[in-house]
Structure 1
């Protein structure tokens, strides 16, 4: 079933209720969604099933492809009451397909900014959920502020779209500085893969020209066997040719591969988080606009670009799940 065939069901009057092919449900009380627990659950005929967490920066929680869970879920089954709780950002990190980091900080805590910033812990406003019929699909949009009374006045306008008959989801962000002062904007898309999609031997491939380890030079291309020790490895991939950037995660065990693509002019770096501990077991790929480690981290604003008053940044990515092996 492809996009055209699903859309033709509407065209020929064969669908009396759009729920038959594009089902959307609002949920309240979801422990993964943060205070209030409000989320939207989407199921598309011949496509993906996923949840959008309106109280966690309009990020994406669980994601399934043809009955196979793809997203990593952390051992924290509830988000906790507030961002000041023990453990900070990590202490409330319940996983999910997407956790957006920024806009005030990405990476470790610095100055007055906590680890990975405040976006993922901020409730979206002006959320609109819309079905489409040509093509059949869904568009969910909303705004996430990064603002303070005596400081920055940034707004991130997000649109998440996906169509029936295609196993893909696209996130488009427009970041606008509505304040009177220039402000640094750090942005990192934390895309998290877990079991059963993630198994030993999963392979990672990217056309980046440079691969720099933060911790050691262990193999970033093949996910290892599970370890009985807590530990992580982080790599930076950079040096993409032209504006097109991407990374592929191939899971032979489920006969599927994930392809993430983005604009390298906006997000020139991609980090890879490897966490092979038992009961942890996660792999993240993280397109970003600023460094997480190395000498560039010591630049002003930790290397993040600065947005002038009235300025805007267009960012985002597309995640596609394919059957079989990636082409060589």
Structure 2
């Protein structure tokens, strides 16, 4: 393994430290003040410069993330908020509890804007329709922490954590998300594996969106997104010219979305964001069989300066239209669906240049 520039096997490493925690590890902490009071989080340190938080009580989503001490994510004014303090209305359930962080998960049965839709699949006459808040309900549900720690694969230690989130309602959906996160010690990559299961006895809509939120200093004027795509279609006011290069913070800016159909190689799609100096880079890979779309969300407002790089199971078509077109994804009774992602970060001109050269060669 590579630990801070040293190539070591297990025996050599453990001769030099009293505990692996000296160089890498994962620990459980709890916030004790403000809107985040009571929230459990897991803190990961890879030993390769990558550090990040897993917010256990917010659907096992990802909080602050850094590479070599440099922030990767956007942080909203509220920061981490306990879900039990939030509001439960259509827009506010997301906007008034969204603290930023590297990733917030949309789902499990709805993504995109708030709406009301047919609920006849629930077979409950008293509720012919269901209301769906912005990006669904998942991110406001605490997870059950099923385990975390370090496992050794021969000479290689691997940090891991696993949690389960249940989104269920009497006479409603009964879905679960099991999420496992792993980091090879000494690396700058995290892997995320999600399994969504329908525990109900009837089929249910199942949609997932991975709202990856990148901020300064990665996002700045001249930073750019790198993605190999089949086509890209602007939604709303998005200027289709030069959309891959980012601008500075601007007064009165309105959010923009580009709907991207990324190319898939061996079942994987990928995208990167690199800063203007090309000494800081974030890269994501995702399985395109279950996440065939990539939504580029740009918000260049003052104080809300953030870019979303969002793999999604559906495009931006409204839910009702998806149903009418026969494209609303369903999950059968007792069935499961898997989602796989990888996040990698690089800091320093040499590391970024090496990654970009390899990407171009591939």
> TM-score scaled by structure 1?
0.92
| Distance in 2, Cα, partners of 1:144 & 1:168 | 24
Determine if the alignment matches structure 1 residue 225 to structure 2 residue 258: no
Aligned twin of 2:104: 99
Residue 216 of structure 1: aligned partner: 237
What's the Cα RMSD here? Answer: 2.4
Unpaired stretches in structure 2, ≥5 consecutive residues: 117-130
Return 38-47 or 183-192, whichever deviates more: 38-47
Q: Which residue of 2 aligns with 1:54?
A: 56
User: In the alignment, which of 191, 205, 208 is matched to residue 170 of structure 1?
Assistant: 191
CA distance in 1, matches of 2:32, 2:341: 26
Tell which structure's C-alpha radius of gyration is larger: 2
Identify if the C-alpha distance between structure 1 residues 241 and 49 changes in structure 2 by more than 3 Å, giving closer, same or farther.
Answer: closer
Equivalent residue for 1:131? 150
> Equivalents in 2 of 1:32, 1:186: separation in Å?
32
User: How far apart are residue 83 of structure 1 and its match?
Assistant: 3.6
Where does residue 67 of structure 1 map in the other structure?
A: 69
Q: Which residue of 1 aligns with 2:316?
A: 292
CA distance in 1, matches of 2:170, 2:289: 32
Larger deviation, residues 139-148 vs 38-47: 38-47
> Does the alignment pair 1:27 with 2:46?
no
**Aligned equivalents of 1:305, 1:35: Cα separation in 2:** 37
Counterpart among 279, 302, 306 of residue 255 in structure 1: 279
Aligned partner of 2:42 in structure 1 is 40
The structural deviation recorded for 1:293 is: 3.5
1:258–1:319 contact (8 Å) kept in structure 2: yes
Alpha-carbon distance in 2 for matches of 1:99, 1:33: 17
User: Does the Cα contact within 8 Å between 2:234 and 2:258 map onto a contact in 1?
Assistant: yes
Question: In the TM superposition, what is the alpha-carbon distance from 1:25 to its structure 2 partner?
Answer: 2.8
* Higher mean C-alpha deviation, range 316-325 or range 115-124: 316-325
1:150 is aligned to 2:171: yes
The 1:128/1:107 distance shift into structure 2, 3 A limit, reads same
Matched-pair contact (CA < 8 Å) for 2:167–2:175: yes
Tell me by how many angstroms 1:229 deviates. 1.4
Residues 26, 149 of structure 2: 8 Å contact kept: no
The correspondence for 1:119, drawn from 132, 135, 138, is: 138
Q: Return 5+ residue gaps in structure 1 as ranges.
A: none
- Determine if contact 2:49/2:69 at 8 Å carries over to the other structure: no
Return the offset for 1:7: 4.8
Q: 1:181 to 1:34 in 2, by over 3 A?
A: farther
CA displacement 1:175-232 (0-9 Å, x = unmatched): 1112101011110001111111211111112112110111234232001122011411
Say whether the 8 Å CA contact 1:27–1:38 is kept in structure 2: yes
- Give the SS at the match of 2:15: coil
Secondary structure at the aligned position of 2:208 is classed as strand
- Kept in 1, the 8 Å contact 2:293–2:312? The answer is yes
Alignment of 1:2 with 2:2, yes or no, is: yes
SS in structure 1 at match of 2:134: coil
**Secondary structure, counterpart of 1:140 in structure 2:** strand
Q: CA deviation at 1:68?
A: 0.6
